[in-house]
Amino acid sequence: MTLEAKEIVVKGAREHNLQGVDLTLPKNKLICFSGVSGSGKSSLAFDTLYAEGQRRYIESLSSYARQFMGQLAKPNCDHVSGLSPSISIEQKTGGANPRSTVGTITEIHDYLRVLFARIGKGHCTKCDRPIEAQSREQMIASILNSFADQKILVLAPVVRNQKGEFRDFFDDLVRRGYIRARVDGEIVRLADSIKLDRQMRHHIEVVIDRISPTKNDRLRLADAVQQALQLSDGSLLILADDDAGKSMILSAKYACPHCLISFEPPSPQLFSFNSPLGMCPSCDGLGEKYTFDPDLLIPNPSLSFRDGAIELIGSMKEMGRWRRHIFEGIAQEVGFSLDTPWNKLAAAAKSALLHGMGDRHITFTWRSRSKVQLHGGTWDGIIPQLNSRHRKTGNSMQRKMLEKYMRVIRCGECAGQRLNAQARHVRLGGKTLLEWEAMPVDELHRFVEETLESNFSAVERFIAVEPVKEIKARLGFLLNVGLQYLSLDRRANTLSGGEAQRIRLASQIGSGLVGVLYVLDEPSIGLHPRDNHRLLGTLEHLRDQGNTVLVVEHDEDTMRAADYLVDFGPGPGVRGGKVVAEGTLAHLIQEPDSITGQYLAGRKSIAVPSKRRPIDLATLPIESHTPIPSFPIAQASKPKRPRAKKTT
């Protein structure tokens, strides 16, 4: 067992204007350094104690690791003992990863991903119906439940929305002994020659059996279900054999049985825009991309498409006949007129022209003098066509001309949400992950509680217990530091210095570290006074976890809450650099030389600048508040370049 020092002892500290300060600080306490600006409090807190903690940490590393970090200069000080690993929580925001958000810094995003992967409700990306995998037993039970003593058809869906004649396929079914199928909603005999339009899309379901399921005749139903699942590769359609035509579709896979699209079962990576499994494929998870901007393409929206609304396309008079009949086909299919001014067109019409119609089948009519010919096809859209032209062109003049109409805009596929379609269609408590993260922290905190109460089954609640505990705790920390108005999707690089500092403070509590010296610079800055006591509660919590919390602060409430105070002064610069008083609040008040003590005693008003400096540290000629790279336990303080001298 190692004996841990109960005190931090500093002797002869002379960094900046410090005049050989000797100081003994109790550990595992909330300590406040006070004094006027430039009195030396930051020089002792950051440039002596924190810097020395960092330096010792580097010294403790192997010489191999040290050569990558250089060497930190020893603070100007005779002796320091009893130091713990130190973490500074400061107000700088610069250097934040542009991809990081409040959710990722606090790790709440990671716990939400786990929660969504485990109990999120998947929905089809095409029709938005719930997707669920069912066991054969569950299917039989629900069929018996819904169709008891009714005549039903058990069908195997084999073709969904596919083009073709399927002649060979029908022949094959006949050879395998099937008699009937439902083709485009109509029951037909497979032996009759079935003629399908090759250019049209069709639905085909094979009739497996026609039965009245009863509990006594479970075996026949089970056989039919089994056969249907095999033939269809995992899905099953039950149809009541009456005029009402009640139906039920079931899937053994994580798939939409209506659209016959199957999905990968969700994993936490599905909800990460940094993972190939989760990122929007159109913008690689960035939420924006360099593409043609409709606002630039259509400089004069009062023109109709026919008259050349889309400048790059020009008017239809100048088009070839083939292109003209393509646009006419699209207009006819969607149901709009090419003569309508662009700004009067419905959104669906604009979207069809610009972004295409996916794999929807369009029948185009080609009229020549002698005859009318129909042909089918799909439409990619003007913007995808232009993008491909931009990619392929080797002509720099042409590229420049195209780029006049391009800029970085929000990704159209994910609408800036950065996740792929499957991830965007998983909901929990009726909301997607992105909707959860768009709520302010206080609202989300309530929502988590209510959802857990009312929306989850007992099993789900059991699965959710661990991640929900972590999520609620971290949301609670954010509430306690007065950040209830932030949402988790807020990007880190848009936060103010005070907000960033308080978020890091909140995440330190979540980290549960013990035996650390935390050094904070004016955490109350920018905080509404009514949230101040909660911030203090957070600092006390950090202390009660077994840490030493050292705060450089002007705020009176903080000074009153501190276990131990050190007042620097008496003046700024050369008139400061000394400890004028130290001890408990009662000590400080007794001390006639301590301006802070006098102020706290109510005898004197303090010489605190009425308008506080935005960031105290910025005015001091030092960089050593910054933690060193890859300090293993300081995950909340961002690694930055240390004040290092390269040793050779």
Q: Which is closer to Zn ion, CB of 127 or CB of 514?
A: 127
Return d(Cα 356, Cα 343) in angstroms, integer. Answer: 18
Shortest Å distance, C-beta 391 to Zn ion: 17
CB nearer Zn ion, residue 79 or residue 410: 410
CB 81 within 8 A of CB 73: no
CB of 438 to Zn ion, least distance (A): 17
| CA 152 to chain CA mean position, Å | 46
Cα torsion 169, 174, 176, 181: sign: positive
Q: How far apart are CA 616 and CA 526, in angstroms?
A: 13
Please work out, in degrees rounded to the nearest 5, the angle formed at the alpha carbon of residue 76 by the alpha carbons of 26 and 591: 45
Q: DSSP letters of 312-361? A: TT--GGGS-HHHHHHHHHHHHHHT--TTSBGGGS-HHHHHHHHH--TT--
**CA 378 – CA 383 distance, rounded (Å):** 15
Let me know: does 80 contact 12? Beta carbons within 8 Å: no
Minimum distance from residue 260 beta carbon to Zn ion (Å): 8
Question: CB-wise, 30 or 255, nearer to Zn ion?
Answer: 255
Tokens of 619: 């005015």
Contact between residue 105 and residue 492 where contact means Cβ atoms under 8 Å apart: yes
Q: Which lies closer to Zn ion via its Cβ, residue 162 or residue 395?
A: 162
Q: Can you say whether the dihedral through the CA atoms of 128, 133, 138, 143 is positive or negative?
A: positive
In the complex, minimum distance from the CB of residue 251 to Zn ion, in angstroms, rounded to a whole number: 10
Give whichever of 251 and 594 is closer to Zn ion, judged by the CB atom: 251
Nearer to Zn ion, 41 or 109 (CB): 109
Beta bridge partners of 205: 157, 182
Q: Min. distance of Cβ 417 from Zn ion in angstroms? A: 7
We find the least distance from the C-beta atom of residue 128 to Zn ion, in angstroms, to be 7
Terminal CA-CA length for the chain: 38
Distance of CA 617 to the CA centre of its chain: 32
In the bound state with Zn ion, the residue whose beta carbon lies nearer, of 11 and 355, is 355
Residues that bind Zn ion (CB under 5 A): 124, 126-127, 256, 258-259, 280, 282-283, 411, 413-414
Q: Which is nearer to Zn ion, 283 or 513 (CB)?
A: 283
Q: Of 199 and 275, which has the nearer Cβ to Zn ion?
A: 275
Nearer to Zn ion, 360 or 575 (CB): 360
Identity at 42, one-letter amino acid code: S
CB of 419 vs Zn ion, minimal distance in Å = 8
> Least distance from C-beta 273 to Zn ion, angstroms?
9
Looking at residue 242, the DSSP 8-state letter turns out to be S
| Total length of the chain | 648
Cis amide linkage into residue 629, ω under 30° from 0 = no
d(CA 527, CA 179): 76
Choice between 285 and 569, CB closer to Zn ion: 285
Here the tokens at position 224 are: 């039919």
CB of 477 to Zn ion, least distance (A): 32
Shortest Cβ 254–Zn ion spacing (Å): 12
Shortest separation between residue 239's beta carbon and Zn ion, angstroms: 18
CB atoms within 10 A of CB 31: 23
